[in-house]
Amino acid sequence: MKIAGRAMRTIWRTADGRSVETIDQTRLPHAFVTLRLASAEDAARAIREMRVRGAPLIGATAAYGLAIALLEDPGDSGLERAYQLLVAARPTAVNLRWALDETRRAVAIASVGDRAARAFACADQICDDDVAICRAIGEHGLGLLRAAAERVGGRRLNILTHCNAGWLATVDWGTATAPIYRARQEGIDLHVWVDETRPRNQGAALTAYELCEEGVAHTVIADNTGGHLMQRGLVDLCIVGTDRTTARGDVANKIGTYLKAVAARDTGVPFYVALPSPSIDWTLTDGLAQIPIEQRDAREVTHVTGLAEDGRLYDVRITPAHSPAANYGFDVTPARLVTAFVTERGVCAASASGLAGLFPERAPGTH
């Protein structure tokens, strides 16, 4: 995807091959600042502080963090220490554990001297695979968007998305945004309703930013607006991402996703989830009972950050000084509210059999 007209990925190796650079997403949309990650601690901190965020990018960053740690200490204890540090950085996105497991497996049989190189090669592969997965989600989702555009008979197609499951959340393309970018390339007339996504405002800050850079028509809305728009026939379909989806199809995604799915079901609006296979947790079946939900600092709810007229960023309090606040990062949308998954292997029902049909080699009981 493009920034100021230049195509780039969200994470890349530095010239010396010993670290990576990424975009500091806490500075967007007001400043484009890159961040060098030169240790496992740097990578874990960047994930914890959400300088990098979005399930696939969290996974890619963690894999590089492990590789960088192995440059310093390639022994078993160094590997284990870095793994534990990184896996604890955030709890909900299963891509974090998945990418670390892939990388640890890749180095397990290597001699100690080869471990760092093997881990870097694995992290590079995770990134390349993520791009291919997102591109394939784009192709399969394009079919859905084309059919939806035909259904609305030539008028502009209105799509609602929540949080940022875009280019910035992945290595390239995004998951929920890939079909949107492909549809626009194909000349489909579309417009995106962007949920602001309080408290961290990933929609207002990040999705809006990348849609601006890609020249996609969009409107930022307050989180409570989606249901109203759906009742008025102003949303033709919803598409969101996921941080962890169970083997039976329950979807953990950014807080507020569930409410959009409820409104979509009530109003008959299709609700799609863009689902890359590394976001499937095949070990879990019951999303509500089993998916760990991140709780973050209450300050993210009590304060907002914004650009003032003087061109500087300020944090301002919006609640009474003594009101407690709760900050749940994710919610679980039960499979029954999801119209379909858009995966890299095609579109399927949000159910155990739907997922098993596309990923027979991974489905529980088959390996």
Active-site residues, by number, are 243
Report d(CA 89, CA 48) in Å as an integer: 5
Angle between helix 76-87 and helix 40-48 axes, rounded to 10 deg: 10
Q: Which stretch binds ligand MRU (CB under 6 A): 65-73, 77-85, 238-246, 340-348?
A: 238-246
**Per-residue x/- marks for ligand MRU, 251-280, CB under 6 A?**
--xx--------------------------
Report 312-331 residues binding ligand MRU (CB under 6 A).
329
Among 35, 169, 251, 263, binds ligand MRU (CB under 6 A): 169
Whether cis (ω within 30° of 0) applies to the bond prior to 360 is no
Q: Which is nearer to ligand MRU, 53 or 118 (CB)?
A: 53
Among 43, 82, 165, 238, binds ligand MRU (CB under 6 A): 165
Contact 182, 139 (CB under 8 A): yes
**Strand pairing partners for 314?**
306
Report 121-140 residues binding ligand MRU (CB under 6 A).
none
Whether cis (ω within 30° of 0) applies to the bond prior to 56 is no
Question: How many chain residues are in contact with ligand MRU, going by CB under 6 A?
Answer: 17
**Strand pairing partners for 330?**
254
Q: How far is the CB of 136 from ligand MRU (least distance, A)?
A: 14
Nearest-CB residue for ligand MRU? 241
202 in contact with ligand MRU (CB under 6 A): yes
Q: How far is the CB of 351 from ligand MRU (least distance, A)?
A: 20
The closest of 238, 193, 247, 244 to 220, measured between CA atoms, is 193
Count of C-beta atoms within a 10 Å radius of residue 181: 23
Question: Which residues have CB under 8 Å from 329's CB, separation 6+?
Answer: 92, 254, 255, 293, 294, 295, 296
Among 242, 245, 302, 339, binds ligand MRU (CB under 6 A): 242
Residues that bind ligand MRU (CB under 6 A): 53-56, 93, 163, 165, 169-170, 175, 202, 241-243, 253-254, 329
